[in-house]
Structure 1
Amino acid sequence: MSTLHEFATITSKGQITLPKPIRQALGVDTGGKVAFDLHDDGHITVSRADAEHEDPAISAFLALLAQDIQHGRHVQGLPDDLAKAMLRHAEFADLSEDIAGDVVI
């Protein structure tokens, strides 16, 4: 049996407002993120999402990279044609110029 049982209405745009007790239980507020997980049995779990959304492709790449490093394999230099193409499309900052606007560190 659930500890908390609340209802939400779906709008014509497919949106819902999470009831206040649910938001409080999840520890989310305005601008907060929640994750929805659909399980094989049809149940959906709602949880507080991490501060940043993880792109599955980037996560998989980073895991692969970590595995390579752990096994002593290291990323080799880029092929010359790829490196040159990247440089052609890169925008470089002039480090001698003053920074405009606020800087948050």
Structure 2
Amino acid sequence: MDKDKEKETAEFYERLKVELDMSNTWPALYLFKFIVPSEADNVERVELTFDCMGAVIKTTKSKTGKFTSISVDVQVKDAQEIIDKYQEVATIKGIVSL
């Protein structure tokens, strides 16, 4: 990743952390939403990210079956935990975080 993109990403997560802290009382229930290509092990990789956290995970395939939406309801301890999860799933090829 080049320096400009890295800086932009870091600034985005800083702003997100501030917004999350202003709008939540910790710990809190948080809803993660993702869209992944329905190929390979993408859904499983997202599910494993939230393993052992007591998460409620719902998946829905698109009409064509090319994509799967994933909703994850989970109790988080603070804004940093949310950011850590977003960064962890960002390594999955083709994932879109909503």
Normalised by the length of structure 2, the TM-score is: 0.24
Normalised by the length of structure 1, the TM-score is: 0.22
Kindly indicate whether structure 1 or structure 2 has the higher relative contact order, using CA contacts under 8 Å at least 6 residues apart: 2
Which one has a bigger Cα radius of gyration?
Answer: 1
Structure with more strand by fraction: 2
Structure with more helix by fraction: 2
